[in-house]
Structure 1
Amino acid sequence: MKIAGVYLAAGKSSRMGKNKLALPFKNTTIGNIALETALQSSLEKIYIVVSGEAPWLSSEFIKNPNCSIINCTNAHMGQSESLKCAIRLAQKEEVDAILVMLADQPLIPLHIIEEIMECKKKIPSLYFVAASFKSIIIPPVLLSSTMFPELLNLSGDTGAKALLHGDNFTKGRILPFNKFEYFQDIDTKEDYDKLLSGIK
């Protein structure tokens, strides 16, 4: 089963007021942390979706043969456009599923990525496998190629979560995790300060 990671890194960082992915963290940048974790996983490859230049992105990842950088020119129209840019490439490369990750979630641990993928491999018919915290679905989310046509019909700032209900919901699996810090996204200066205060 061919599973590719989709690393969404084309946001505008409007709430931070500057490029949050370029902020320093653990001898690198916010944007590189979860990407490094993804590359340690058993994902076949990673699609890194950016908008224009990505000065935060480490040169070692740019050169990595398992990384494909996608410049999504429509990213300003919302997260759905970034997702669709990745899905079109996934279709061309005949990927069986994608694992969607957010570049501003630096604390996602390797075991969550692997548990989500393992669930799909054990039950190949699943439409999706999603992480959750206190019953709320939260990225990372794995999406089967079966869902690609529906995902390509999304628009604006609507993410894949909008499709994880009704008939689709009964065909997926939700994996609960009990540590919110795993999923903390860095949107504001307060979020960043809190992240730095937790560095060991």
Structure 2
Amino acid sequence: MTSPLRWTGILLAAGRGRRFDASGANNKLLQPLTAGGSVAQQSAGNLLAVMPQVVAVLRPDTHALTEQLLALGVHCEICANADAGMAHSLQQGLRYSADSAGWLIALADMPFVKPSTILDLLQALQNGAGIVVPVYQGQRGNPVGFAQRYLPQLLTLQGDTGARGLLQSAETVLVEVDDAGIHRDVDVPEDLN
């Protein structure tokens, strides 16, 4: 008897965040939020509240960030070529979890996404959608989701555009949510509040 396939949350955390701090001295994902915890901890916690498995993809030089995420129960994958573009980080997470039923792909610098939004996206995938994107006030946002059948296409992506082309597919299901957090990321220090 085979066990049912699990759904996986992939947390992309391998960016350099140069708009936050051009010197690179302050990793934006380690910055504390007024609600408590770091940007990355909150982003991971939102995924963990819904997803049975979460894998974060990080750069090799992010030991403190890796420790924070491991302490939450997140599996961490190190992407040696993360600087070559987001597609490499995404593929690292996909290869680790290639036997999943599908994936919700979240950005670690988006800690304001509600767990209820993640649940709505997961349910749409579980109900047969192939690609899901949240929409708030007519605008698409993140995280996005893909069913297992898109794995071959996801594994051929290149550069920093990620899955943008796939997300324009006619098969994409737009999931209306009441969550401004799908548009809100942390790019500069003022975004932490």
Instruction: Identify the residue that residue 28 of structure 2 maps to in structure 1.
Output: 20
Q: Tell me, which stretches of 5 or more residues in structure 1 are unaligned?
A: 196-200
Give the SS at the match of 1:153. Answer: coil
Q: Can you list the C-alpha shifts for 1:172-195, whole angstroms capped at 9, x where unaligned?
A: 311123442443000112323xx2
Counterpart secondary structure, 1:111: helix
Distance 2:55 2:32 in 1: 23
Aligned residue in 2 for 1:188: 188
Partner of 1:160: 163
Residue 9 in 1 paired to residue 13 in 2? yes
Checking the alignment, whether the CA contact within 8 Å between 2:10 and 2:55 is kept in structure 1 is yes
What value does the CA root-mean-square deviation take over the aligned residues?
1.8
C-alpha separation between the residues in 2 aligned to 1:154 and 1:98?
Answer: 16
* Preserved contact between residue 110 and residue 181 of structure 2 (Cα < 8 Å): no
Partner in structure 2 of residue 198 of structure 1: none
Match of residue 123 from structure 2: 118
**Aligned residue among 11, 15, 39 for 1:30:** 39
| 8 A Cα contact 1:32 1:58, kept in partner | no
Please give the TM-score of this superposition, normalised by the length of structure 2.
0.86
SS state at 2:174 partner? strand
Identity %: 23
From the superposition, tell whether residues 120 and 179 of structure 1 become closer, same or farther in structure 2 (CA, over 3 Å).
Answer: closer
Q: CA deviation at 1:63?
A: 4.5
Take 1:147 and 1:164, find their aligned partners in 2: how far apart are those partners? Answer: 11
Match of 2:65 in 1: 56
**Are 1:129 and 1:173, in contact at CA under 8 Å, matched by a contact in 2?**
yes
Instruction: Figure out how many residues of one structure are paired with residues of the other and give that number.
Output: 183
